[in-house]
Chain A
Amino acid sequence: MSMKQITDFLKGILRPHGCGKTKQLLFEYVEGELPAETEARLAKHLGNCPPCLKYVESYRHTIEVTHHHGLPEEPMPDALKQKLCEFIRQNPDLK
């Protein structure tokens, strides 16, 4: 084991996960806005820290489900469809 590996190991024990950084960088990480080097460092951390990985994944899932389910699934009432068609036919702005 090299000196650096020992230092990293001890750092890991003293500052488990470096998780504060994950929270700080979360938005930019998910948006893909981090500089390559920072992104790689965070990705490495996530590989070694299941709680942080789970946190990031749940943040991503939230965005996914928001996108997929964010709009009401109620069908457009037929009466509204008719009213809109009448609006199109009668509106003088639509020439």
Chain B
Amino acid sequence: MREPSAHKTASKLLVNAIELQTPVRSCYAAFHQFLIKLETARDIVHQKLLQRAVPSLMTKTDTQIDDVQLVARLKQRDKSALEDLVHIHGAKMYGVALQFMRNEYDAREVMQDALVSIWNKIGSFQGKSAFTSWIYRVTANAGLMALRKKKKFENNISLDATGSDEDDSPLPALQLRDKGPLPDKVVMTGELGDKVREAIDQLPEPYRIAVLLRDVEELPMSEVMQETGLSEPALKSRLHRARLALREALLPYLKGRDTQKS
């Protein structure tokens, strides 16, 4: 068990700090160090208990265990953990960044911003949600900020060409390149994914952002409202209109799935 030794080390630091009459700030730093060690110890104990309790499930929880270690290392300010994070979760982060920015150069900037945010905010990660969801959310936020910086978002927010958020009229039809092969074959060959991304890409920017945050990233409505600065009715209207436009465009490719699903 590492907890007692971490406790001992931290206690020693505190005693030394007090005996030497060091400033309050140093005592606080020692206490902070103690808390970090305690958290690491807790994560390691948790991981060991998990290994002991469910050895047969180890293969299923490998990623989670990696994440527990990653979080612990990041909290210890181990910079190499950030590099490991790029190797383990970089691909999905890249996907999120690319979907927001639509080009590799801007996506790279977003990933860099996201990495800095992860580094700075890791202390606030409580483990209430999965670590992966948290890092993708941070990446999505970085994407949104980057779009704001580029004023793409601001310029499109008036929605002159597409009506206001109170307007329930449908969005202009999304034009997918061609109808492609038969729906069943589309599903089989994975072309459905291309059609979905193409349709999302064609949505006017504010609608695309709403769909990316809510339906792709599955952020709670409250969080999307916070990120976009939209009121609840405005967000609902925007999301609904975007979904209807996507549905309309994707309908030929969804037909094959209707019978299986319902």
Contacts and interface: CB of A to CB of B under 8 A. Distances in A.
Contacts of B240: 26-27
A85 B262 CA distance: 47
A3 interface: no
B141 interface: no
Contacts of B115: 84, 87-88, 94
B86 interface: yes
Contacts of B44: none
Give the contact-size bracket for chain B: 35 or more
B92 A62 contact: no
Interface residues of A, number: 36
Interface of A: 26-27, 31, 53-54, 57-59, 61-63, 65-77, 80-81, 83-85, 87-89, 91, 93-95
B204 interface: no
Nearest to B91: A76
B79 interface: yes
A69 to B, nearest CB: 4
A76 B90 contact: yes
Given A66-B196, A71-B216, A88-B115, A61 B83 contact: no
Interface string B99-127: 10000100010011001100100000000
Given A70-B200, A72-B99, A88-B86, A54 B212 contact: no
Q: Interface centre among A57, A75, A80, A89, by most B CB within 10 Å?
A: A80
Contacts of A66: 196, 200, 211, 215-216, 243, 246
Given A27-B243, A68-B193, 13 more contacts: A57-B261, A61-B261, A66-B200, A66-B216, A67-B218, A70-B196, A72-B98, A72-B197, A75-B91, A76-B90, A76-B94, A84-B112, A91-B112
B104 A62 contact: no
B197 A70 contact: yes
Nearest to A63: B215
Q: Across the A-B interface, give the 10 residue pairs with the lowest CB-CB distance, nearest first.
A: A70-B216, A71-B95, A69-B193, A69-B196, A76-B94, A62-B247, A66-B215, A27-B240, A57-B262, A76-B91
